[in-house]
Structure 1
């Protein structure tokens, strides 16, 4: 009987311990669930963009006019307003950004006057130019430092003048050349960016007259441009 009583007591204790463990398992955990973490979106330069720009340009080329008596005469340098629009696309990989951009500009930098002897006869300085360029740079989060180079075209200088004998003659035409430059751009918001950019543009022009006959004398339209612009970046 004593053995039976001891066995019954042991069985009762075992059942009680099992019930206590089951009850503890049903109690709520003392540890809080892991807090959810929503990462802030990282800015990227990748995407299409379009914008406007304005600045100043100045003729630095040795534009020349051919005079039948005095030969090839240097023209005069001129500067003025430059403004227009641009569209492009950037792709960012790591810190590096590569892209393409094209722009079209009004430019009052033309050296379209003529020289006859030692007398200068001013011509129309209004014109236009455009570029098709590659861009490559390094991004420091929202700041981008880049270089750019490519093709240039336009009717800027070297095509029009006034001869005291033959009068006013016009030779407007679109010529091609090249351009190179650099700039800094900053993303003010995820969609709007602002930039400052400098370009050197060289557009070859050959359009002069020798007593009514055209003479292909170089009148390079070389000019610098310093401009500021804003872009809207599409998501």
Structure 2
């Protein structure tokens, strides 16, 4: 009986040996390690410059006058990126300009304007599409009958833009704004009238972001 049992165990071992050898020869595959997709970091302070073209229509008394001209200046802002895609920011800008009407009797000219705006954008890595809106102000000059008077106007603005990061700290943007500077009363000796100034602006800009953030980072 003992011999029979030993013979049975030996036969079983011989039958199992090829299967074990086959298993030892098979490659062992490991599951891939999950890696978070990279995304652009828009956080932090930035400064920049802009230049653009404006066109609109001023209301002077009971009449209207078409306006147009160029402007250029700078901006400063800060972004908070609260997910890989959503970016909130605040931006202030100031431009010198020459947005004027060409009217013989009463000529208007916005020499300076600026805004303080919120921005909310959706980012695809290094591309940011955003809407913007907030407070606007400007310095307008009314000239006629040999005299002129300047007033500071205040109002609102809204628009949107597209910003593209082409380097770790540099980005370029194209932006549209509608600017309504509101109505002011001018009371020079030669004229007494209300002026309302509003215009559209399309401009290009470039920004430099501080902090040395990389172009992409894991989230």
TM-score w.r.t. structure 2 length?
A: 0.73
Alpha-carbon offset, residue 210 of structure 1: 8.2
The C-alpha deviation readout for 1:96-147, integer Å capped at 9, x for no partner, is 0001000001121134x66xxxxx3363635110100000010100000000
Aligned length, in residue pairs: 176
User: Which residue in the other structure is 2:114 paired with?
Assistant: 130
Q: Is the 8 A contact 2:106 2:142 kept in 1?
A: no
The C-alpha deviation readout for 1:165-195, integer Å capped at 9, x for no partner, is xx32222021210000100001001100000
Separation (CA, whole Å) in 2 of partners of 1:41 and 1:64? 54
User: Which residue in the other structure is 2:201 paired with?
Assistant: 225
Aligned to 1:200, the other structure's residue is in SS state strand
Q: Specify which structure has the higher proportion of strand.
A: 2
Q: Is the 8 A contact 1:171 1:207 kept in 2?
A: no
Alpha-carbon offset, residue 41 of structure 1: 7.1
User: Which residue in the other structure is 2:138 paired with?
Assistant: 154
Separation (CA, whole Å) in 1 of partners of 2:187 and 2:125? 55
Instruction: Establish whether residue 169 from structure 1 lines up as the match of residue 158 from structure 2.
Output: no
Separation (CA, whole Å) in 2 of partners of 1:107 and 1:64? 20
Q: Is the 8 A contact 1:110 1:221 kept in 2?
A: no
Aligned to 1:63, the other structure's residue is in SS state strand
Q: Is the 8 A contact 1:57 1:108 kept in 2?
A: no
Alpha-carbon offset, residue 42 of structure 1: 4.5
User: Which residue in the other structure is 1:4 paired with?
Assistant: none
- Which of these residues, 49, 58, 63, is aligned with residue 59 of structure 2? 63
Q: Is the 8 A contact 1:88 1:100 kept in 2?
A: yes
Aligned to 2:138, the other structure's residue is in SS state strand
Separation (CA, whole Å) in 2 of partners of 1:97 and 1:52? 21
- Unpaired runs of at least 5, structure 2: 1-34, 212-219
Instruction: Establish whether residue 184 from structure 1 lines up as the match of residue 188 from structure 2.
Output: no
User: Which residue in the other structure is 2:8 paired with?
Assistant: none
Q: Is the 8 A contact 1:133 1:148 kept in 2?
A: yes
Alpha-carbon offset, residue 77 of structure 1: 0.9
- Unpaired runs of at least 5, structure 1: 1-37, 66-71, 115-119
Alpha-carbon offset, residue 154 of structure 1: 0.9
User: Which residue in the other structure is 1:84 paired with?
Assistant: 73
User: Which residue in the other structure is 2:184 paired with?
Assistant: 206
Separation (CA, whole Å) in 1 of partners of 2:36 and 2:58? 57
User: Which residue in the other structure is 2:22 paired with?
Assistant: none
Separation (CA, whole Å) in 2 of partners of 1:51 and 1:142? 17
The C-alpha deviation readout for 1:17-69, integer Å capped at 9, x for no partner, is xxxxxxxxxxxxxxxxxxxxx9997530001000001110112x34114xxxx
Runs of 4+ in structure 1 over 6 Å off: 38-41
Q: CA RMSD in A?
A: 2.4
